[in-house]
Amino acid sequence: MIGFRPEPGLDANENDMTYTQLQQQARQRWAARTSGKTCVVVQVGHCSQAVGAERVADQLRAALAGRPNAYLVAAGCDGACFAAPQVSVTYPSGETRYFSRVTESDVADLVATLDAPGSRRPTLDLEEFFTPQHLQVMAGCGQLDPADIDDYLGGGGYSGLADALSRPPEAVIEQVLESGLQGRGGAYFPPARKWQGARSYPAPRYLVVNGEEGEPGLFKDRHLLEGVPHRLLEGALIAAYAAGAAHCYIYVNAEANLSAQRVASAVTQAQRLGLVGADILGSGFGCTVEIRRGAGGYVCGEETTLLNTIEGRRREPRLRPPFPVESGLFHRPTVINNVETLVNVPYVLQRGPARYGQVGLDAAPGTKLICLSGAVRRPGLAEVPMGTTLRQVIYGIGGGPPEGRNIGLVAVGGPSSGVLPLSELDLPLRPGMLHPAGIVLGAGGVMALDESVSALEAVRRLAAYNAAESCGKCTPCREGTPRMVEALDRLAAGNGAPGDLEELRYLAEVVGAASLCGLGQMAGGPINSLLHFFPDALGVDRESHEPA
């Protein structure tokens, strides 16, 4: 594992300044650098890097080097991955031009527009992608400069932290509880309950930010880490204050290098301004922040496995109880919160519980980030109110299937959930079960599958992934998940029998009930969805007990 510690000597003598003073200075510095200049924003994220965004940014940076009247911002991705690389040019007049799918060969023409101010709207695809959304945690992604704390601070960033530090921790916990905020990592447990639980045990306590996100089809946390790292850091510091944690670990996926770089930069900048370290904003509360890289593997997203890897132990889950809030990292009380969860926290502190509850469902307020991929015209990351239907996400935001193709089924919630027929797309997104057949929203992955992909093949791949990613610690998961795959292989080859269906039902139940962690406990979800929704696709005549 590679750890990151902020550079020594960066603690500022500014921690005795008020938030208002810090914000005023940030605005002055930002204005000195940008006032009267044309702003060129290139969205550079992990996704857009794959289609040349970094090369486009490098060329634009070189082209702007001799232009003192313009500056470049390498922002994160706004979620419209289908349109990457994206560039926007905003002139001192406020007029803006938007460019999608920019290539290196387009840079010269784009630079020429700097001398001819004008406006150009986003494409119709972009408008249709964003119009149904409700941006809260993603606000500013694709525009804010993740490498410059002044951009975030000058726009009101860290005001939620300042508000929290002005009140007792118990009052902060009560406010977040009142908002109804639930976790966004898949289990939807209220984060403030964890903070409250940890406070009931003696210090020292730890806060761990779970940014592992190893599940296939998920990329929401990565977008937040790359696009609004200071919002994540602010949420983490509020959580640490509420829980009484003096040390925070931000755990980033081993392959998410850009995420780690931008968060590391944010930590260094915040420490320089006295927002990380001792006596933050003169409150008496101090918190150090350290970045740790994941140990690799889907199971590392499981919270006790994550703790083991931070400690340098094998990547396998722990027996529970005790739960982490009682005995977690280094056997001390530990709060573990997901990235998306914590990015919601500053909004709650800044706007208040009532404002937060205006969006979403009564039982599940707020928004949810949905990672939309597969056979849709507009794949990407969307932020929608809880209660939005799958149909609205796939056909409204995603634009439905590309021309000449049809969607046959939809995989929801990754390998911990299952597949749905198109007849079930009016299910509203919400925590817990979307359908009693085992379909859960989970962390928010939605994959539309082409009609050429059979339900049996889709579930076999999900089951094979679970079997390959099992850490092997507990017998039910280690032995049961491969047996599921073997039964599915027989069915896929046309050699299945009714006994295979019974074995699949049995394994789904036993593995789910007896496994140590969520990987095994949820491994039966894809199986149950297949048996419930697609019995005719299994190639077995259950009446004659012979292969069909």
* Residue ranges of domains in the chain: 3-8+144-356, 37-75+80-130, 367-453, 456-547
3 state DSSP class of 421: strand
The closest of 141, 143, 155 to 22, measured between CA atoms, is 155
Which tokens belong to 262?
């931008």
Q: What is the pLDDT of residue 170?
A: 98
- Dist. CA 190–CA 182, nearest whole Å: 4
Letter for the amino acid at 455? A
**CATH superfamily assigned to domain 37-75+80-130:** Glutaredoxin (3.40.30.10)
Residues in the chain, total: 548
3 state DSSP class of 187: coil
3 state DSSP class of 174: helix
- Dist. CA 425–CA 412, nearest whole Å: 11
Q: What is the pLDDT of residue 3?
A: 38
Query: Are 213 and 255 a contacting pair, CB within 8 Å?
Result: no
pLDDT in tens, 374-399: 999 999 999 999 999 999 999 999 99
Q: What is the pLDDT of residue 297?
A: 85
Q: Are strands 334-338 and 288-293 parallel, antiparallel or unpaired?
A: unpaired
pLDDT, tens digit only, all 548 positions of the chain:
233 333 333 334 444 689 999 999 999 999 999 999 999 999 999 999 999 999 999 999 999 998 999 999 999 999 999 999 999 999 999 999 999 999 999 999 999 999 888 889 999 999 999 999 999 999 999 999 999 999 999 999 999 999 999 999 999 999 999 999 999 999 999 999 999 999 999 999 999 999 999 899 999 999 999 999 999 999 999 999 999 999 999 999 999 999 999 999 999 999 999 999 999 999 999 999 999 999 888 999 999 999 999 999 999 999 999 999 999 999 999 999 999 999 999 999 999 999 999 999 999 999 999 999 999 999 999 999 999 999 999 999 999 999 999 999 999 999 989 999 999 999 999 998 999 998 999 999 999 999 999 999 999 999 999 999 999 999 999 999 999 999 999 999 999 899 999 999 999 999 999 999 999 999 999 999 999 999 998 877 655 444 33
Residue reference for tokens 């079960």: 433
Domain 456-547 matching CATH 1.20.1440.230: the answer reads yes
**E strand or H helix at 353:** helix 353-356
Query: Are 472 and 478 a contacting pair, CB within 8 Å?
Result: yes
Q: Cβ neighbours of residue 536 under 8 Å, at least 6 residues apart?
A: none
- CA dist 8 → 4, 148, 268 (Å): 12, 20, 10
The closest of 299, 283, 205, 212 to 243, measured between CA atoms, is 205
Could you tell me which CATH class the domain 367-453 is placed in?
Answer: alpha beta
Query: Are 205 and 288 a contacting pair, CB within 8 Å?
Result: no
Cα separation of the two ends of the chain? 51
On whether the pTM is more than 0.85, the answer is yes
- Dist. CA 449–CA 447, nearest whole Å: 6
Kindly tell me the number of DSSP H helices and DSSP E strands found in the chain.
Answer: 21, 18
What's the CA angle centered on 473, arms 472 and 477, to 5 degrees? 60
Domain 37-75+80-130 matches domain 367-453 at the CATH topology level = no
Q: What is the pLDDT of residue 16?
A: 62
Instruction: Give the right CATH number for 3-8+144-356 from 3.40.640.10, 2.60.40.1180, 3.40.190.10, 3.40.50.11540.
Output: 3.40.50.11540
- Dist. CA 436–CA 109, nearest whole Å: 55
Which tokens belong to 307?
């703790």
Q: Cβ neighbours of residue 199 under 8 Å, at least 6 residues apart?
A: 169, 173, 205, 242, 243, 244
Q: What is the pLDDT of residue 12?
A: 40
